[in-house]
Structure 1
C-alpha cells in the first residue's frame, strides 16, 4: 500500500548535466517537437525533434573529441537559426567549453570578437560554412583566419558512431557567457551545469512551466536571456520552442503576437522596449484578429521596466485577450546564470508609488505630492533556496526594508567566477558583509530595495549621476528627455556627466527619429524637405532644458542629437552609457543631420 501525502520528485530534479537532460528527452519523447524555426518570423522552416537533436549533438560531439578539443574553449559564431543549437549541444556532448558570440559586423564587433578569442584562449571556431567563408576571406578579418575554423554543416551523421559520453558533473563548466562590458577587457562568466539546472528549476517553479507550455523567442541565441531563458529551458521542461530571428521581429514586430496567437504560446517575453515597439508598430484591426489569452507569462526584463509600458501594452492588446496580470517582470544577470527573481505565477503584479527625491537620497517613501511621484515595478521574489540581501556598497552593512543599496545574491545559480580573472572574481563572487556572516555573496553592481520580500531594482551603481551632492538615476533623466518631444526615440538616450573646467556638467545624448530634419528658425519657412518634418533646433533645446530643470532641478549643459540606431547598446538592448560617454569625448558620435540629403 502506497504512502499518502508525499510529492513525487520531478524528473527534471534528477538531472546532473545538460547532456543527461537532452538524452532523457530523446529517450522518453524522441519524436516530440523540440524546436521549430520560423523563417521571416512567419513560415515554418527547419525543425528538430529530440531524437534528431540528440543525433546531431552526438555527431558534432564525436567529431570535436576526435579533434582533441575536449576541455578546451571553442567559439560559436552563428546567425539566428538551429545551427547554433546543435553546435551548442555538440560542445556539451564533447565536454568542450562553448563560447557563444556573434559574427562580426564592422570594426567594433571585430575588435570585441578578437578580445573574446584572446581572453578565452579559444582553440577553434565552430560555425557554418557560409559564415566561415565570409569572415575568413574578409579584408578586415584581423587575423581571425589564423585560428582553426570548423563548420558543423560539414560534419557527417556517421560521426555519431564514434561518440562516447565524456565525464561531466554539476561542477563542470558548460560555457563562458561574455558580458556586455568594454571591448578591450571582456569578462567571461564561467557557467556550470549545476548553475544552469538550478536556474532552470527556479524559472520553471516561478512560471509553472510543463511539457504543455509552449515557448516562443526572438531573442539573440548568444545572449543569456535567449539561450538560457528560452532555448535550454525548453529542453529542461520538455516544452516545444518556436524561434524567430531578432531582425525579423525588429523589422515587423507584429510577427511576435501573431506567432503567439497561432502557436498558442504560454511563455515569451523580452526587454521593455519590445513591448513599446509592438504597440507602436501594430494596428487596432490587427490586434482584433489575434488571441493572446494563452500568453500567461509575458516576461519583461534585461532593462529598466516602465509601468507605463505595461499598462499601454495591456490596454492596446486587451481586444486580443491580453491582461495586465499576464506580465511577469524579472531581474537577473549573467553572473547569476540568468534569473535572480521574478513575479511568480501566483504573485500579484507589484507597481509601487514612491518619492523621487527620497529614492535619490537612498530610501523608498511615499511621494510628497504629484511632482514628487514616481512609479517603480517590482521584480518578484527570489527562489526559496536562494538568498538576496540589500547591502550598503561602501560600509557593507545590510540595509533594511525600503532602504536602497547594492543587490547581493547567494545561491547555486551564482557562477564560478570570471574566466582567468581570479582577483576580479574574488571581489565580485566572494563578497562578505561587514559582520562576515553567511557569505560568500555575489555582488551584482545593481541598486535596489526590498518591500515585503519583493525586489525592486532602481539602477546601476556605476551609472549613478551625482551633482551638487544629490544622487540622480540616469534612466529618470533619459525618460524625461524621451517624453518631452515626439522627435526623440524611446530607450535610445544616455545621460552622464563630464568634467568641464573642474565642474561636473550634465550631458544627454539622444537619438532622433529619422523622419525629422534639423533647421534653424531663419530657414524653417524655406525648408523644402518633402519626405521629412523640419524641426527647429533652438526650440528642441529649450524644451529639453526646461523639462530637465522642472523634473530634476538640474541644468542640462549639452543635448547631443544623434542618428537613429547609433547609440551604443548591449545585445539585449541596454544602453551602454560609458561607451556613449567615450564616443562623446572622442567626438565619434553619429550626429543627427550630418551627411544626409537636404
Structure 2
C-alpha cells in the first residue's frame, strides 16, 4: 500500500524559495510556442463549450490528449497564497508536448529509452511527460528533495534511480539543476539540466511514433525502495484499464473539477489529478505540496473559490486542516460543492475524518463526500472504492487471539474486472472477517518491476500479485489492516504498529508522524520498541514523557514497550516520498544507532 505520510513535516523545512516556481514559470513562458493567452490570469473552465464529454475509453494517453485538446479545459497552477501562476489548457499542453517530443528525437534519444523527470508541480513536468509519450520515450517521474540538508542524500538517491532506469537524461526545475547535473555524472544520462537545455535542442522533422496500446507508458519507483530502487512498469493497457475503472467507480461526469496538492511523483497525484482528469477532459487546480505545507488552508480555499467537486488526501492532510481550523476563519469557506473527498494512500484514521467533519460542517462540508479507497503503484493506483457519496463505513473487528477490538474503515468494493483473494499462510483463500494477505489479479496489475526479474517473481505468480498488505472481507468489501512485514507479533498475538503510533502521537508533547513502532527479538520473546521523535531539554521532562508513552502503549496494545527518544535531526528514517520506514528504523536500532 503506497503512502506519502510524513512528507509534510519535511516540506515545511524545504529550502526551495517560496517565489521560485513563479520566477521559473515567467522565464519558461518566453520559450513556449503556444499563443500568449496561455499566460492570462483566467483559469481554464470546468466545462467545454462544444467538445462532448467522454468518460475515458481511450487506448493510450496520446489518444486521450488528442481528444481533450479539442476543448478548453486543462490544468491551473496556483501558489501558496492562492494566486494563479499560469494555466495549461489541454490544447496548449498538446502543442508544447509535440514540440518537446521532436526535440527529444532531435537529440538522438531512441524510442523506448528512459528520461528522468523530477516531478515538481509546474507546467514543464506535464509537457515533458506527454512529450515523452508522443516521442515513444518512457518518462520516469521521481521526487523532489525535502528538508534542509538533504542535498547529498538526494543526489545519492537520484543517481541510484538514474542507474536503475538506465536513463539517458534528467529534466529538473530550475532550482534543482545543480542536483540533477551532479547526480548524472558518471551515469548513462548524457543530458541533465533545466527546460532551457531541452528547448534549445533542434526539432526533428519526423513523423512521431507515440507510445500506444500494448506499449510502455512510464516507470514509477516504489516509495519504499531506498536501498535498491524498484521501478514499477506501467503500460498503456494497464493504465487505461485502471483509469477507466477508477473514474467509473467515482462517477466522474461533465460537471466535475478537481483541486489537489498531492505530489506528482506519487501515483495518487500523477494518475488521480493529471492523467485521469485529462482522460475525462476535466479541469484541475494544482497546488505544490510545499505550498500546501506552508498554507494548508489554501487547499480548501481553492475548493471554495473554484467550486471544485473532487479532491483527495491521505488522512494526515485532513488532520492538518483540522488542527489549522482551531485558529483559521472557517466561516469564510463554502465546501458545499464537494461531492468526493477521497481518502487513501495510507491507513485511514477514522478519528481524523470525524474531527474534520466536525470542524468543517459549518462550512458546508458533507461527511457523505468521504470516499475511502485502497490501492498501490503495482496496480497503477486505485483497486477498491467506497460508494459514491456514501460516506465512511466502519467495521468493529475483534482479534480472536487477544479479544481486543478496534474500528477499521471499510475501503469499498474491488474495481470491476479485478479479482482479490485474501489468503492464509498456506495460500488458502479465507472467508468473511478472517485476516490474511491480499492477492490481486486483473487488467491493472503491473507486468513487473523494471529489469528486476527476481523481485518480480517474488510478488507475481500465475497472474496474481502479492500486495504485501493484510486485510479481510466485510460484506463483499475490503478492509485493510496494515503491511504484513510491519505486523508485530507478541506471544502469538497480532498487534498493528499504527495503533501504537497513533496512541503515542495523540500525546500533547508528540507531533503527527513522530512515532515509529516495531518489534525485536529479546531472548525468546518479541519486544515492542517505540522510537519517538521528541527530546525535551530537561531530564525530568524526558523521564515524564517516557512514562506517558509507556502508558499510551500499554493502553493501546496491552503490552509493555521499550521507549527511545530521539532528536528531530536526523530524525526518523523515511522513504523518498516521506513515508515512515519502520524497516529502516528497526535496522538502525539493531545497529545501535539509537540510544537505549
Query: What is the TM-score when the length of structure 2 is the normalising length?
Result: 0.85
The CA deviation at 1:504 is: 3.2
Task: Spell out, residue by residue over 1:187-245, the C-alpha distance to the aligned partner (whole angstroms, 9 max, x if none).
Answer: 10000111111111122112111232111111111111110111111101111011011
Match of 1:518 in 2: 537
Q: 1:570 to 1:237 in 2, by over 3 A?
A: farther
| Correspondence 1:430 to 2:461 | yes
Q: 1:122 to 1:520 in 2, by over 3 A?
A: same
The CA deviation at 1:94 is: 0.7
Q: 1:109 to 1:500 in 2, by over 3 A?
A: farther
Specify which of 400, 412, 437 is matched with residue 380 of structure 1: 412
| Correspondence 1:457 to 2:480 | yes
Counterpart-to-counterpart distance in 1, 2:57 and 2:555: 57
Q: Which one is further off, 260-269 or 537-546?
A: 537-546
Q: Which one is further off, 154-163 or 13-22?
A: 154-163
Q: 1:212 to 1:196 in 2, by over 3 A?
A: same
Whether contact under 8 Å (1:59, 1:157) holds in the other structure is: no
The CA deviation at 1:469 is: 2.1
| Correspondence 1:95 to 2:126 | no
The CA deviation at 1:557 is: 2.1
Q: Which one is further off, 208-217 or 296-305?
A: 208-217
* CA radius of gyration, larger in: 1
Match of 2:31 in 1: none
Q: Which one is further off, 279-288 or 50-59?
A: 279-288
| Correspondence 1:441 to 2:468 | no
Counterpart-to-counterpart distance in 2, 1:396 and 1:199: 26
Match of 2:449 in 1: 418
| Correspondence 1:490 to 2:495 | no
| Correspondence 1:55 to 2:95 | yes
Write out aligned runs for 1:36-435 (5 A).
Answer: 36-69=76-109, 70-104=111-145, 105-133=150-178, 135-136=180-181, 143=186, 147-149=190-192, 151-156=194-199, 162=205, 164-283=207-326, 286-345=329-388, 347=390, 349-355=392-398, 357-358=399-400, 372-392=404-424, 394-431=425-462
Aligned to 1:496, what secondary structure does the other structure show?
Answer: strand
Counterpart-to-counterpart distance in 1, 2:358 and 2:251: 25
Counterpart-to-counterpart distance in 2, 1:164 and 1:326: 46
Report the RMSD for the aligned CA atoms in angstroms.
Answer: 2.5
Q: 1:571 to 1:238 in 2, by over 3 A?
A: farther
The CA deviation at 1:489 is: 1.1
The CA deviation at 1:426 is: 2.5
Task: Spell out, residue by residue over 1:23-48, the C-alpha distance to the aligned partner (whole angstroms, 9 max, x if none).
Answer: 1111x31xx13010002251001211
Match of 1:551 in 2: 556
Q: 1:348 to 1:285 in 2, by over 3 A?
A: closer
Counterpart-to-counterpart distance in 1, 2:391 and 2:552: 34
Task: Spell out, residue by residue over 1:333-371, the C-alpha distance to the aligned partner (whole angstroms, 9 max, x if none).
Answer: 00000001111315453112222x33x67xxxxxx6xxx
Whether contact under 8 Å (1:492, 1:575) holds in the other structure is: no
Query: What is the TM-score when the length of structure 1 is the normalising length?
Result: 0.85
The CA deviation at 1:422 is: 1.6
Aligned to 1:489, what secondary structure does the other structure show?
Answer: coil
Counterpart-to-counterpart distance in 2, 1:477 and 1:312: 20
Counterpart-to-counterpart distance in 1, 2:292 and 2:56: 34
Give ranges in structure 2 of 5+ residues lacking alignment.
1-51
Q: 1:172 to 1:58 in 2, by over 3 A?
A: same
Indicate the structure whose relative CO is greater, using CA pairs within 8 Å and at least 6 residues apart.
Answer: 2
Counterpart-to-counterpart distance in 1, 2:338 and 2:539: 48
Whether contact under 8 Å (1:224, 1:334) holds in the other structure is: yes
The CA deviation at 1:549 is: 2.4
Q: 1:290 to 1:560 in 2, by over 3 A?
A: same
Aligned to 1:517, what secondary structure does the other structure show?
Answer: coil
Q: 1:344 to 1:508 in 2, by over 3 A?
A: same
Q: 1:498 to 1:110 in 2, by over 3 A?
A: farther
Counterpart-to-counterpart distance in 2, 1:210 and 1:163: 37
Q: 1:563 to 1:15 in 2, by over 3 A?
A: same
Aligned to 2:512, what secondary structure does the other structure show?
Answer: strand
The CA deviation at 1:332 is: 0.4
Task: Spell out, residue by residue over 1:41-69, the C-alpha distance to the aligned partner (whole angstroms, 9 max, x if none).
Answer: 51001211111100110011111122232
Counterpart-to-counterpart distance in 1, 2:564 and 2:91: 56
Whether contact under 8 Å (1:59, 1:161) holds in the other structure is: no
Match of 2:16 in 1: none
Whether contact under 8 Å (2:224, 2:579) holds in the other structure is: no
For this pair of structures, how many residues does the alignment match?
A: 540
| Correspondence 1:579 to 2:574 | no
Give ranges in structure 1 of 5+ residues lacking alignment.
1-8, 362-367, 432-439, 522-535, 593-598
Match of 1:537 in 2: 542
Q: 1:157 to 1:293 in 2, by over 3 A?
A: farther
Whether contact under 8 Å (2:490, 2:525) holds in the other structure is: no
Match of 2:529 in 1: 507
The CA deviation at 1:11 is: 3.9
Counterpart-to-counterpart distance in 1, 2:201 and 2:223: 38
Counterpart-to-counterpart distance in 1, 2:192 and 2:305: 39
Whether contact under 8 Å (1:196, 1:413) holds in the other structure is: yes
The CA deviation at 1:588 is: 4.7
Q: 1:216 to 1:468 in 2, by over 3 A?
A: same
